Structure 1
Amino acid sequence: MDLPPHDFVDISRQITTKTSGLPLALEIIGSSLYGESKKFWKGTLQKLELVPNQVVLNKLKISYDMLEPHQIEIFLDIACFFIRKDRLHPCYMWKASNYFPKRELLVLSRMSLLRITKDDTLWMHNQLRDLGREIVRREDVNFPRNRSRLWEPKIAFDVVRMKEGTYKVVALRLTRLYKEHSFTSEEFSKLPNLRYLELEGGNLVGDFKNLLSKLTWLSWSNCPSELNVMNLCLEKLVVLKLSGINITEGWAGWRSCLMSKDLKVIEINSYPGLKRTPDFSKCLNLKRLVIKQSTNLLVVDGSLSKLEHLKHFEIISCESPKRDGCEHYPVPFVLGSLKSMSKLGMRGMHLQELHHSIGQMTRLEYLSLDYCSFLKTLPNSIGDLKMLRWISLIGTSIKKLPRTMGKLVSLLELDLSMTKIKNYLLLLEISNGWRF
């Protein structure tokens, strides 16, 4: 095995780390370093820190140049914004742009331009990420306003603040630098084709009539409690992700954000949290709803029962359960109306009982009621869930299971950790080969 000279070991490791061990990159860069001085090696490392190696990029670009237009758009989106992110969420956005993400991701995977991991996240080698970002940078090296995607916070902020945006910008990340900044309607009027917007803090000011009309993705952390905006109408929104201490049931932005019939994903991360969920009656095509908060008391608005296409619903509380003098979460909606549901999770809630209509959720595959410490029984109707594969009841107060669970012919796994179930013989009698 060839090894570098002793005094070159550290810099060799740094260069290997910078190239992420990609064999092609190591071969090309290694051949250029052969026989050169340590000063030359250090200079090469400095260049790699600033600009990806041109020869490596040119070779990687051979595969990129074979892509079709929609595949290029998806590849660049991932390189700039979605590495190590859930695959499904951007897929909804791409579908709204009339792409075919299932097919296009398969092509990209087969060409080794990305990988979809076991937990269904998007992964891309650092060299391919650098290729994608360099391609975007070269759309206009001197004027970022003419690039399609702006992901570096300072560059993106300067383009917006200086009112230099153009119709070419389709995706924008405004994070880290401007938590107190108010973005005006005039600034966003320069960005008519924006479809992806990521905000951290800040506010919107002015009349936004006919602005952000193509926005399909809004991710906003540290939201302000009050919006200084008029006529904000996000009719094309597909993915909505909100977080911060100001996300309450009375948050000023609900009306603007929940008016799209195309909404497919809503994620709310709020501390301490909502006391009541907002009105979902206009987002009837919603498929995924996740609410994370510190409080374990939440009233679910009746509009949730209208979401006939909802497949994934989770309420996650991070607060320790209280035993004395507390209210209970009554599950006021009829579960049976959610006939498309495949995953239902309520973690750490003050859940006293499940409505018997859960037996009508015939497509349910995953049920988690972890740390719902006041839950003592399951309804007999749970035995009607013929597609149920996983049940997790960790930390509940359940002492026995209904015999109807013996009808769960698809059940593969049952987790009863930290429950009060003692009659294991009965459990074995109804188990039908479950794993627990």
Structure 2
Amino acid sequence: MDLPPHDFVDISRQIMTKTGGLPLALEVIGTSLYGKSKKFWKDTLQKLELVPNQEVFNKLKISYDMLEPHQREIFLDIACFFIGEDRLDLCYIWKASNYFPMRELLVLTRMSLIKITKYDGLRMHDQLRDLGREIVQREDINFPGKCSRLWEPKIAFDVVQMKEGTDKVIALRLTRLCKNTSFTSEEFSKLPNLRYLELECKNLVGDFKNLLSKLTWLSWSNCPSELNTTNLCLEKLAVLKLSGINITEDWVGWGSCLMSENLKVIEINSKSGLKRTPDFSKCLNLKRLVIRQSTNLLVLDGSLSKLEHLKHLEIISNGFSKRDDCDLCPVSFVFGSLKSLSNLQIRGMHLRELHHSIGGMTHLKYLSLDDCSLLRTLPDSIENLKMLRRMSFKGTPIKKLPNTIGKLGSLLELWLDRTKIKKITCFY
């Protein structure tokens, strides 16, 4: 149990009394005092003495006020939009704003303002979430269009539709609204500094030249099949998340969305099923690509082989197509070029062969080919994956592992549930 230094005991008791014994306030303020001078402790006590005991907001805000400007911005982003989101995805958009997210997140964690799960998700106590949102609302109580973040869809919708947006607004959530309306270029012209946008169903209408020029995150669910826009150019986009029945290989929005050299994350959830992946040749700095769809038939566009910086590739089928005359291809061509890949997951797809070129993916740490019902053998070149820590072939008809698998010195987990392997021989 950590205790304060002997000469800090009295002041620590006073601080505990002034927080009203509120566990969260004690945790947040206590961690912010760790390692600080006695004068800093006294200054903090003085601030608490100015705050009535019942005002939780002002007690917690003391720790917020200790943050540097970029740390405050990240704290507010998480409180308003990003609870539960993946830490690495968010780091890309914060880097695009010239922040140093790894450092800032470490500070927020040490001050108990956020928590990071073992799966890299961001968590925040409800009271701290409410603190962040209250801070944003107080930016202008009477005029939401002058607040930096609008997370309540109805308020955001009214601001956009009434053309009351200002250059103060940097983030909008426009979901769970009437499906029959569209947003115009004139409405978005009032929002020149928008960097986060969450849409659902809505279409975009008009000439978007020089609009959304600072957008780094676009999440669009139930995208429309047609876009009624011209000159939509998302050059600063870092994270793109698309879903819906209209996301096909011919979707008209690909050209506008896949033109950013800054694009680091793409997540596609196609409910109708892509037949072929789109052209990725303009987003060569992509780090993470996730495709989830309802069919297990997919052709990989050759441009995928150009993604030399790709670290995470995930292709998941939730469908049950029984056709066996199609393959996931050209996998061999793709594998030979993805030298930076550390995580490869292909699940439920029509994959007949794992090409020997996979041996060139020497940074691979996690390989999963679960439920690929046509995959029967593995290449000997798998022995070259010296950094591989976890491998899974659950639900495949594989009968035998290559003799070279014993050379995988870093392997910690091997999953073979529902395969045809009856015996594992150790090879050294």
Read off the aligned partner of 2:167 and give its amino acid letter: Y
Q: Hey, what's the Cα distance between the residues in 1 that align with 2:260 and 2:24?
A: 46
Question: How far apart are residue 407 of structure 1 and its match?
Answer: 1.1
Whether contact under 8 Å (2:324, 2:350) holds in the other structure is: no
SS in 1 for 2:172: strand
2:329 matched residue in structure 1: 330
Q: What CA RMSD, in Å, does the superposition of the two structures yield over aligned residues? A: 1.5
Question: How far apart are residue 303 of structure 1 and its match?
Answer: 0.3
Residues 52-91 of structure 1: matches in 2 within 5 Å? 55-91=55-91
Identical positions, percent? 77
Q: Hey, what's the Cα distance between the residues in 2 that align with 1:293 and 1:23?
A: 44
1:203-248 CA distance string (max 9 Å, x none): 0000000000000000000000000000000000000000000000
Task: Tell which deviates more after alignment, 178-187 or 256-265.
Answer: 178-187
Q: Hey, what's the Cα distance between the residues in 2 that align with 1:177 and 1:25?
A: 36
1:34 matched residue in structure 2: none
Whether contact under 8 Å (2:295, 2:321) holds in the other structure is: no
2:354 matched residue in structure 1: 354
1:344 matched residue in structure 2: 344
Residues 67-216 of structure 1: matches in 2 within 5 Å? 67-216=67-216
Aligned CA distance change for structure 1 residues 242 and 89 (closer, same or farther; 3 Å): same
1:404 matched residue in structure 2: 404
Q: Hey, what's the Cα distance between the residues in 1 that align with 2:344 and 2:282?
A: 22
Question: How far apart are residue 54 of structure 1 and its match?
Answer: 6.7
1:130-173 CA distance string (max 9 Å, x none): 00000000000000000000000100000000011000000010
SS in 2 for 1:350: coil
Question: How far apart are residue 87 of structure 1 and its match?
Answer: 1.0
Q: Hey, what's the Cα distance between the residues in 1 that align with 2:381 and 2:93?
A: 37
1:278-297 CA distance string (max 9 Å, x none): 00000000000000001000
SS in 2 for 1:259: coil
Q: Hey, what's the Cα distance between the residues in 1 that align with 2:276 and 2:180?
A: 28
Q: Hey, what's the Cα distance between the residues in 2 that align with 1:309 and 1:55?
A: 49
Q: State the TM-score, normalized to the length of structure 2.
A: 0.87
Q: Hey, what's the Cα distance between the residues in 2 that align with 1:160 and 1:133?
A: 20
Read off the aligned partner of 2:326 and give its amino acid letter: E
Read off the aligned partner of 2:192 and give its amino acid letter: P
SS in 1 for 2:328: coil
Whether contact under 8 Å (2:298, 2:327) holds in the other structure is: no
2:307 matched residue in structure 1: 307
Question: How far apart are residue 331 of structure 1 and its match?
Answer: 3.6
Whether contact under 8 Å (1:331, 1:354) holds in the other structure is: no
Q: Hey, what's the Cα distance between the residues in 2 that align with 1:202 and 1:104?
A: 34
Read off the aligned partner of 1:257 and give its amino acid letter: C
Read off the aligned partner of 1:314 and give its amino acid letter: E
SS in 2 for 1:62: helix
Q: Hey, what's the Cα distance between the residues in 2 that align with 1:184 and 1:62?
A: 41
Question: How far apart are residue 25 of structure 1 and its match?
Answer: 7.4
2:425 matched residue in structure 1: 428
Q: Hey, what's the Cα distance between the residues in 2 that align with 1:55 and 1:78?
A: 23
Q: Hey, what's the Cα distance between the residues in 1 that align with 2:130 and 2:300?
A: 44
Q: Hey, what's the Cα distance between the residues in 1 that align with 2:179 and 2:86?
A: 26
Read off the aligned partner of 1:300 and give its amino acid letter: L
Q: Hey, what's the Cα distance between the residues in 2 that align with 1:142 and 1:385?
A: 59
Read off the aligned partner of 1:428 and give its amino acid letter: T
1:309-354 CA distance string (max 9 Å, x none): 00000000001252x6542323443302100000001000010001
Task: Tell which deviates more after alignment, 402-411 or 148-157.
Answer: 402-411
Q: Hey, what's the Cα distance between the residues in 2 that align with 1:189 and 1:365?
A: 45
1:71-98 CA distance string (max 9 Å, x none): 0000000000011111111111000000
Read off the aligned partner of 2:411 and give its amino acid letter: L
Number of residues of Structure 1 aligned to a counterpart in Structure 2: 381
Residues 241-280 of structure 1: matches in 2 within 5 Å? 241-280=241-280
2:7 matched residue in structure 1: none
Whether contact under 8 Å (2:298, 2:329) holds in the other structure is: no
Whether contact under 8 Å (1:178, 1:200) holds in the other structure is: no
Q: State the TM-score, normalized to the length of structure 1.
A: 0.85
Whether contact under 8 Å (2:222, 2:246) holds in the other structure is: yes
Q: Hey, what's the Cα distance between the residues in 1 that align with 2:204 and 2:324?
A: 42
Q: Which ranges in structure 1 are unaligned for 5 or more consecutive residues?
A: 1-20, 27-52
Aligned CA distance change for structure 1 residues 334 and 24 (closer, same or farther; 3 Å): closer
1:292 matched residue in structure 2: 292
Residues 39-58 of structure 1: matches in 2 within 5 Å? 55-58=55-58
Question: How far apart are residue 249 of structure 1 and its match?
Answer: 0.2
Aligned CA distance change for structure 1 residues 161 and 320 (closer, same or farther; 3 Å): same
Q: Hey, what's the Cα distance between the residues in 2 that align with 1:119 and 1:367?
A: 17
Read off the aligned partner of 2:61 and give its amino acid letter: K
SS in 2 for 1:70: helix
Aligned CA distance change for structure 1 residues 387 and 157 (closer, same or farther; 3 Å): same
Q: Hey, what's the Cα distance between the residues in 1 that align with 2:378 and 2:330?
A: 13
Read off the aligned partner of 1:411 and give its amino acid letter: L
